[in-house]
Structure 1
Amino acid sequence: MSVPTAILQVICPDRPGLVSELSGWVAANGGNIRHADHHTDAGAGLFLSRIEWQLEGFGLPREAVAPAVTALAERLGGDGQVHFSDAAARVAIFVSKQDHCLVDLLWRTRAGELPMQVPLVISNHPDLQALAEDFGARFVHLPVLPDSKQEAERAQLQVLEDHGIELVVLAKYMQVLSPDFLASFPAVINIHHSFLPAFKGAQPYHRAWERGVKLIGATAHYVTEDLDGGPIIEQATVPVSHRDDVEDLIRKGRDMERLALARALRLHLRRQVMVYRGRTAVFS
């Protein structure tokens, strides 16, 4: 079993000496740094840092680390947070009828590839109940109709709260979350079946085929009110040709959807993604 680590993420105004100051803070408290990644956005005047260190031998008790990080970030004039590698996030997966992304995520979780728990699967259709329950997740069927969408989302939010969910993953959930839902629960990752920003919205494979593209892909991104326009975490692509029909594009695209979503979720769960100014820095 790997040694538990703490992961510090800081975004602050750029200035000389920040790497030394942050690593010095970890060292001053007895931390042994395992990984350190930094990025300076010169145009924005911002400094981003991710530092991971072993908890064994660290001078602060776990419950004191977060307040100390908050004080450190305030001293730097920025924002900071800390996470612990052995704290498996509680994740809910939203689905409709397509099962390929759900199966992949549940299998990877069971195999230990994704450091998370999936206690809950929510769907607007009943089709995938047996699959979810085979992996030990509670399946909640909440139909979403045009005249009951608001009521359905209120019920979804209540179920998320009841299960202590920290992150929602839209694994081919063919519904658009409302601004009210996102205001109440903003931690959402979606998989979109195109290489964004191309072909936003519905039926991207059909539109890609009509345009005769030679490359299709899938994009995993954080969800915002801007449809398919949230900060991008991961993308995957595959070549296509004039010999491929729409069904071929869909078949090839499903592989990319699974791959991009699993990679993005792993990056998020390992705290390798930092969001700023509507975009992401991914420390891989």
Structure 2
Amino acid sequence: MKSQIVTFLIKCPDQKGLVAKITNFFYDKGFNIVSCQQYVNAIEDTYFMRVRLNADGTDISKVSLEKSFLELATPLDFDWSVNYGDKKQNVAIMVSHTSHNLYDLLERSKEGRLDCNVKVILSNHDKLRPIAKMFNIPFHYLPVTKDGKEVQEKQVMDVLDANEIDLVVMARYMQILSSNFINRYPERIINIHHSFLPAFQGANPYKKAYERGVKLIGATAHYATLDLDEGPIIEQDVKPVTHESTPTTLKIIGADIEKLVLARAVKCHLNYQIIVSGNRAIVFPEAGE
């Protein structure tokens, strides 16, 4: 195996000796453990681990490694996955009208702060095409007609599949995705929205927040699931506001928080830091990478 960092994510019932069994396995295979992060959910009696390995000096193939690890994993009831860090993930960004999240993600990707290839931008409106042109990213305008939502989603999925997309980012894409769409990309669609939900749904949430005199505003990034805006939460942030804030200033502050929250969520996914357990996302912090 070439020099690279290999990352294993492991979830299993909590039991004695897990750390020793797992770390000894990798030691025996010639790996150097760069970092080992653990979390035990005592309520659900579940163990989680993220372990990063330096493959320098090992001569085991990917197939042999996974076959050998399966022999350890099966009797211990592991739910596990492995990433070899040998290719950047392909990302698609879906947008409607607002541009702040799109600009931010494209800038971070261009500067190397997000380790990915933004392959395509898709929108149900043509408004943000100039931004795609500015960053030299293909833009697909796929409008939703009155009776053509199913057709439009098929067009979107065709574009995603043609570009071998690994992650879909809904950067304020203001359409509800069908169950067929979501089930096609499980735990591979990240959505961003204001943190007022389930309150202040629909249009003008910041006006509604102003009218209620809210004292905190924020944003939530989560995986999209069949339950609208209720998928596993990856990242959140809030900022205090006062009675002096207007609907306009609330919207500006909210947009700034959205950019940071969405970028952090996308980075965590790209860095292989997340294990989904039920409707919860276990998000391990960066470990020096």
TM over 0.5: yes
d(CA) in 1 for partners of 2:228, 2:208: 17
1:201, CA displacement in angstroms?
Answer: 5.1
Alignment of 1:52-63 (within 5 A): 52-63=52-63
Letter in 2 for 1:244: S
**Map of 1:6 onto structure 2:** 6
**Map of 2:265 onto structure 1:** 264
**Map of 1:190 onto structure 2:** 191
d(CA) in 2 for partners of 1:97, 1:151: 21
d(CA) in 2 for partners of 1:147, 1:245: 38
d(CA) in 2 for partners of 1:263, 1:185: 20
Letter in 1 for 2:130: A
CA contact (8 A) 1:201 1:228 kept: no
The question of 1:84 aligning with 2:91 is answered: no
Residues 133 and 276 (structure 1), Cα distance of their counterparts in 2 relative to 1, 3 Å cut: same
The secondary structure found in structure 2 opposite 1:36 is strand
The secondary structure found in structure 2 opposite 1:143 is coil
The secondary structure found in structure 1 opposite 2:109 is helix
TM-score, normalised relative to structure 1 = 0.94
Letter in 1 for 2:165: I
1:198, CA displacement in angstroms?
Answer: 5.2
Spell out, residue by residue over 1:206-234, the C-alpha distance to the aligned partner (whole angstroms, 9 max, x if none): 33222211110001100001111000000
Alignment of 1:128-277 (within 5 A): 128-186=128-186, 187-194=188-195, 199=200, 202-277=203-278
**Map of 2:284 onto structure 1:** 283
**Map of 2:43 onto structure 1:** 43
The secondary structure found in structure 2 opposite 1:75 is coil
d(CA) in 1 for partners of 2:208, 2:68: 51
d(CA) in 2 for partners of 1:115, 1:63: 25
1:11, CA displacement in angstroms?
Answer: 0.7
TM-score, normalised relative to structure 2 = 0.92
1:244, CA displacement in angstroms?
Answer: 0.8
The number of aligned residues is 282
Spell out, residue by residue over 1:162-182, the C-alpha distance to the aligned partner (whole angstroms, 9 max, x if none): 110011000011111111111
d(CA) in 1 for partners of 2:172, 2:48: 32
d(CA) in 1 for partners of 2:185, 2:241: 37
CA contact (8 A) 1:12 1:73 kept: no
Tell me the C-alpha RMSD between the 2 structures.
1.6
**Map of 2:25 onto structure 1:** 25
Letter in 2 for 1:100: H
Letter in 2 for 1:223: A
Spell out, residue by residue over 1:233-279, the C-alpha distance to the aligned partner (whole angstroms, 9 max, x if none): 00111121111111111000000000000011111111111110210
1:22, CA displacement in angstroms?
Answer: 1.0
